[in-house]
Structure 1
Amino acid sequence: MSIEATIPALAINGERLWQSLTELAAIGAYNDAATGLVGINRQSLTDEDGEGRRLVIGWMEEAGLTVTVDQMGNIFGRREGIEPEAAPVMAGSHIDTVATAGAFDGCLGVLGALEVIRSLNDAGLTTRRPIVITAWTEEEGVRFGTDMLGSAVAAGRLTLDYAYNLADEAGLRFGDELDRIGFRGDRPVLLEAPHAYVEAHIEQGPVLQQRGLAVGVVTGVQAISWQKVTLLGRAAHAGTTPTELRVDAGLAAAQIIVHARAMVNSGKYGQLRATVGHIRTAPGLPSVVPDLAEITVDLRNPDDSLMAQAEADLAEFLAELPTSQPGLRVETKRMAKTTAVPFDNNIQDTIAGVATNLGFETIRLMSGAGHDAQEMAAITPTAMIFIRGQYDGISHNPREYSTPEDCTAGITVLGNTILELAA
């Protein structure tokens, strides 16, 4: 039976949604020299994050939601249903950003879910099940080194103690910073399983734009592996130390970067992607051979077995690296690791059916980025809606942009999906 035959189609106020996105984007805004655009730096548990959280909570309360905050700082806004005891339908994302962000990554999922609630209120619609919208803590992982942190603890994959004891580059502990901004809540962090979880998010890739589609149905999230590799060599004078006597940590870092790309180019590991996004050397002087290099290695693969093979290849290369420079030491630290996560077929079908009935053509595609939805998939039926981005879907960059029309389309699909799941 079509959605039109069972419940009214929910209209979304796209102008109000866009205004909310614009207002939140002003918090943490900065002038980006590289692009000449205004970017956003609102990293998790910073003062800017605290200001953004208070703004969102104010909007939730204005929409009549009952707001609670858990021990991880995850924010929940609940709209009661006709049957309050029924398991709720959940929707949300995150408002923390990377250091060079745009206005849409994560924020569209949170403010879009809020706009669904506002539009339900405008239409005077009540659902059988309660609806809970959430803003998860530290999804990006850029400050404390573990992505999807808030949802991973809420879903039980990581412990609260593990999260509290994570520290940023300045040595500031997660738990202390949560207290400092006033967001260590008293709600128990472990979630009771909701009826379903749906997350709307910008695609962060080029597929929807290339296909000329505003909306996509996400089939799952690929496996992700993050490691920090620390290379310990020996400092020496750049002019007087013969090459054969050097233990050059910077050279070792470069060799790892080249090897990671060679793994990708070999084709042996399927659709492997490898990125070294952080590089630091010490003492960092032009006339001194570095005695320390620190890099991160990000591997992604939709196939768990091929991911395991790629990780084994990298581990073997790291183990053999000191043979090329006697005296070099290699240390590794696991930052994050998640397996490939398939999303619920029934919810995928619901999203696709809703989109079709609303007049939107869709495709199904896998996410190359990690999302809170992959953590929720461990405890409840879960799926995602992707929304087209411009400029080949660029993200984590001030050029990140989705049009008002596409944002409205994606959140209209989200709202009517929530209605069907909660009806």
Structure 2
Amino acid sequence: MVKMTKISINPERLWSRLMDMSEIGEIPNNGSRRLALSQDDVDGRELFLAWCESRGYRAMFDKIGNLFIRRDGTDPDALPLAIGSHLDTQPNGGRFDGILGVLAGLEVLETLDDFKIKTRAPIDLVVWTNEEGARFQPAMMGSGVYCGVLDLPSVLATTDDQGISVAEETASHGYDKGCPPGFQQIERYVELHIEQGPILEMEEKAIGVVTGGQGIRWYDVTLTGEETHAGPVPMRSRRDPVPALAPVVELVYRIGQKDENARATIGKIETRPGSINVVPGQVCLSVDLRHPREADLVAMQEAFLNGICNIADAHPKLEVKAKCRWHSSVVQFDPEMVSGVREAAKQRNFPSMEIVSGAGHDAFNLAQVVPTTMIFVPCRDGISHNELEFTKPEHAAAGANVLLDMALRFANANQDALQLQE
């Protein structure tokens, strides 16, 4: 018999792979830029697939570009345990957001091979398409299509800022020839990720036992007036939307100060046409509202929409609109799987704590269809979506070892001991 805690991943191999992947789409300050379905994203996937193929794992993909890497189990009728995350990044992203979950998942499969361990159920390592939502919105696109939260035709029609559609990019990379979304059924899902916040580091914990996630609302706000020359037209005669921007900003950040758990962010502001000597005809901005309690998030949303109506009334020369681009409800993860993370951390003597995810993840979509949980590890100064994003090698290894223990536990489904290959 072999005890779980005697089996550990190869930390040097995991770290080396993380550094190798970061060279694809490398940008200054040790960052990475692999926007979803760009050539850099596909190049990163090809490197990942080459590592998988070198170990003989079977690869499949669906029509939105989700990748599924299978390590077979002993029971041909068992549904797989799925582990994974994403390889796409923010425009000025780091080396660990999403990537850690994918490469730690590969490390889990290789460790099982290295120790000649059979699992009863197969294990599928998944790379979800466009988790970030940086190039195409909404975020968590691939997992959303897989889970039926988003419909494939609408997603394929989505375009980026250059007018390039998801359909064009999936076709150019051959993903349109893939399987129908949802073809690959799974039993459970576990995702390892950096925290993307400062709590674990401040509390000196190596593992975050993630119990759920904040609800999220994304809005597009447009303030429409009339563009005209900056010189000849008197101020009183203009339909300038810019003065209405200040009360919108004040509204959003006042809502974000509702309580210590509330979050409100304006991530993008654009004037159109964007010329120095033209009064803008339109101001466009994004609004991101979050809260871990659904009722409080609904109250924030209502306050925001009511405030937008008041701003519209105060600026009768303008058209003021707020349109919901995307929403994700508050998530509660599966208690049994949450307990599994807690117990694995305890068995390995990793200091841990319960935590609620402040960021959105593919696991949020998966939680709607199968038992799901996440594992967090600290990131330095809580920085993420930034070239300075960093997690210590020992924390990356700790998270991967907890992921390994979760794979052993749930892919063996109530077996008391691991079955070793002869």
- TM-score band by shorter chain is over 0.9
Q: 2:373 aligns with which of 377, 383, 390?
A: 383
Q: 2:289 aligns with which of 299, 304, 307?
A: 299
> Root-mean-square deviation (CA), in Å?
1.6
> TM-score, normalised to structure 2's length?
0.94
The unaligned stretches of length 5 or more in structure 1 are 32-36
Question: Are the counterparts in 2 of residues 347 and 382 from structure 1 also a CA contact under 8 Å?
Answer: yes
Q: 1:94 aligns with which of 72, 86, 89?
A: 86
Aligned to 1:168: 160
3-state SS, counterpart of residue 335 of structure 1: strand
Aligned to 2:102: 110
Distance 1:323 1:136 in 2: 43
Q: CA, structure 1 residues 239+262, in 2 after alignment: closer, same or farther (shift >3 Å)?
A: farther
Distance 1:216 1:124 in 2: 29
Aligned to 2:16: 19
Aligned to 1:34: none
Question: Are the counterparts in 2 of residues 203 and 386 from structure 1 also a CA contact under 8 Å?
Answer: yes
Question: Are the counterparts in 2 of residues 222 and 340 from structure 1 also a CA contact under 8 Å?
Answer: yes
Deviation of 1:288 after TM superposition, in Å, equals 2.8
Aligned to 2:275: 285
Aligned to 2:57: 65
Deviation of 1:287 after TM superposition, in Å, equals 3.2
Q: CA, structure 1 residues 8+404, in 2 after alignment: closer, same or farther (shift >3 Å)?
A: closer
3-state SS, counterpart of residue 168 of structure 1: coil
Give matches, 1:49-88, under 5 Å. 49-88=41-80
3-state SS, counterpart of residue 366 of structure 1: strand
State yes or no: 1:158 paired with 2:150.
Answer: yes
3-state SS, counterpart of residue 289 of structure 2: strand
Task: Render the CA deviation track for 1:311-364: whole Å, top value 9, x for unaligned.
Answer: 111112222323322220123332210100100111011111111111112100
Give matches, 1:13-412, under 5 Å. 13-31=10-28, 37-191=29-183, 193-267=185-259, 271-390=261-380, 392-412=381-401
Distance 2:122 2:258 in 1: 50
Question: Are the counterparts in 2 of residues 193 and 379 from structure 1 also a CA contact under 8 Å?
Answer: no
Distance 1:356 1:275 in 2: 36
Aligned residues: 412
Deviation of 1:266 after TM superposition, in Å, equals 4.2
Question: Are the counterparts in 1 of residues 256 and 289 from structure 2 also a CA contact under 8 Å?
Answer: no
3-state SS, counterpart of residue 128 of structure 1: coil
Q: CA, structure 1 residues 381+191, in 2 after alignment: closer, same or farther (shift >3 Å)?
A: farther
Larger CA deviation: 8-17 vs 299-308: 8-17
Give 2:404's aligned amino acid. G
Question: Are the counterparts in 2 of residues 231 and 292 from structure 1 also a CA contact under 8 Å?
Answer: yes
Question: Are the counterparts in 2 of residues 208 and 214 from structure 1 also a CA contact under 8 Å?
Answer: yes
Deviation of 1:187 after TM superposition, in Å, equals 1.6
Q: 1:419 aligns with which of 402, 408, 420?
A: 408
Deviation of 1:284 after TM superposition, in Å, equals 1.8
Give 1:303's aligned amino acid. R
Deviation of 1:243 after TM superposition, in Å, equals 3.7
Deviation of 1:115 after TM superposition, in Å, equals 0.5
> TM-score, normalised to structure 1's length?
0.94
Give percent identity, aligned residues only: 37
Distance 2:278 2:301 in 1: 32
The unaligned stretches of length 5 or more in structure 2 are 413-422
